[in-house]
Amino acid sequence: MSDQPQPPPSPERPIRPPRAETREVVELRELKTAQPDLASAVDLQIALADIQRRLQSRVPLPWISADEAWLQQQEKAGRALVRFGDIPIEWSDFRLAFRQNADVLLRFDALEAADHQAIVALAREGNALEPIVEQWYNATSGTGAKRPEGVPASLDHVLVLALRPFLARCAEVLRARTTLTVSHDVCPFCGWEPDFAVITPAAERHLICGRCWAQWPFASLTCPFCKNDDRARITSFATRDGRYRVYGCDVCQRYLKAYDGRRAPRPVMVAVDTIATLPLDAAAMQRGYK
Ligand SMILES: [Zn+2]
Ligand SMILES: [Zn+2]
């Protein structure tokens, strides 16, 4: 402790109480204390969550023009319900979030400097970004469109992050309007792959989209990546505290992590649980899964 008297706060900048932290950020900080090895991953996640939260409050409610018959028909066919035109993108907000996400990824060494440069250039060049985002969304939501060419592969990561708040709002609205009637191995709303899962208190497994974070029910012991449903060829193991579980598929060798919500003190928090389970990725890979 220093004996130096602290200078009084300058009159132009009154002291304001710090903004209340979101539950996610509180949990992330606790995780960092409990597992210092994860510090850098946690700090990255907090920085990304901050961009996301600021944008979320500005995303308007989407106006989904599709009628009920079309939605039910898409759902039954396993095609994404969110069309690009329904996503309420405000381009100046999007461009800012796009650049901020790229900057944060660069700062945490999650993006190469050359890729970062190419990616932020896209955001700067007038209207270059809009058609790329549209083409990328169409290509990755099962419409059969081709992916944009001549862009770095790491653009995916930045686009997923920047589009998430807009897309999540659409998924929310459509979730309330649509009944899911068939089994979906990709996100029923945006067509992206599941990236995580949660076991509900009723012991159902819900998959969680890696892009819009929507949840949907899916058979517990079926692999969503190759549809293998031979229980003998699904390896499932839990963490010692029972909080998380890994499902490894012995047919396609891919794996999926899950939060076990059956006896958990809180609901799944994707931003927290995907980081808390980073050690499980290593364990799964050690067993030969990818
Ligand atoms: Zn999705
Ligand atoms: Zn599989």
Ligand of minimum distance to the alpha carbon of 208: 1
Question: Cα(8) to centroid of ligand 1, in Å?
Answer: 50
Instruction: Give the Cα separation of 290 and 281 in Å (integer).
Output: 9
Ligand of minimum distance to the alpha carbon of 166: 1
Mean pLDDT of 85-114: 96
Question: Cα(202) to centroid of ligand 1, in Å?
Answer: 23
Residue 2 has pLDDT above 50, yes or no: no
Question: Cα(154) to centroid of ligand 2, in Å?
Answer: 25
Question: Cα(183) to centroid of ligand 2, in Å?
Answer: 15
Residue 14 has pLDDT above 80, yes or no: no
Question: Cα(229) to centroid of ligand 2, in Å?
Answer: 9
Do strands 215-217 and 234-238 pair parallel, antiparallel, or not at all (unpaired)? unpaired
Question: Cα(62) to centroid of ligand 1, in Å?
Answer: 15
Question: Cα(254) to centroid of ligand 2, in Å?
Answer: 6
pLDDT band for position 1 (50/70/90)? very low
Q: Judge whether 268 and 261 are in contact, CB under 8 Å.
A: yes
Mean pLDDT for the chain?
93
Ligand of minimum distance to the alpha carbon of 256: 2
- Where helices occur in the chain by DSSP H, the ranges are 23-34, 39-56, 68-76, 91-107, 113-124, 129-139, 155-177, 270-276, 278-286
* DSSP symbol at 36: G
Question: Cα(208) to centroid of ligand 1, in Å?
Answer: 8
Amino acid at residue number 225: F
Q: Judge whether 231 and 244 are in contact, CB under 8 Å.
A: no
Predicted pLDDT of residue 29: 97
Q: What is the pLDDT of residues 145-201, one digit of tens each?
A: 999 999 999 999 999 999 999 999 999 999 999 999 999 999 999 999 999 999 999
pLDDT band for position 144 (50/70/90)? confident
Model confidence pTM above 0.85:
yes
Give the C-alpha distances (Å, rounded to integers) separating 266 from 93, 163, 195, 245, 273. 32, 27, 20, 16, 11
- Which residue shows structure tokens 């709002």? 169
Residue 9 has pLDDT above 90, yes or no: no
Amino acid at residue number 230: D
Residues with CB under 5 A from ligand 2 (ion): 223, 225-226, 228, 249, 251-252
Ligand of minimum distance to the alpha carbon of 137: 1
Phi, psi of 229 (to 5 degrees): -120, 20
Q: How many CA atoms lie within 13 A of 77 on its CB side?
A: 11
Predicted pLDDT of residue 126: 75
Q: How many CB atoms lie within 10 A of CB 51?
A: 21
Question: Cα(78) to centroid of ligand 2, in Å?
Answer: 18
Nearest Cα to Cα of residue 178 among 43, 92, 82, 59: 82
Question: Cα(145) to centroid of ligand 1, in Å?
Answer: 17
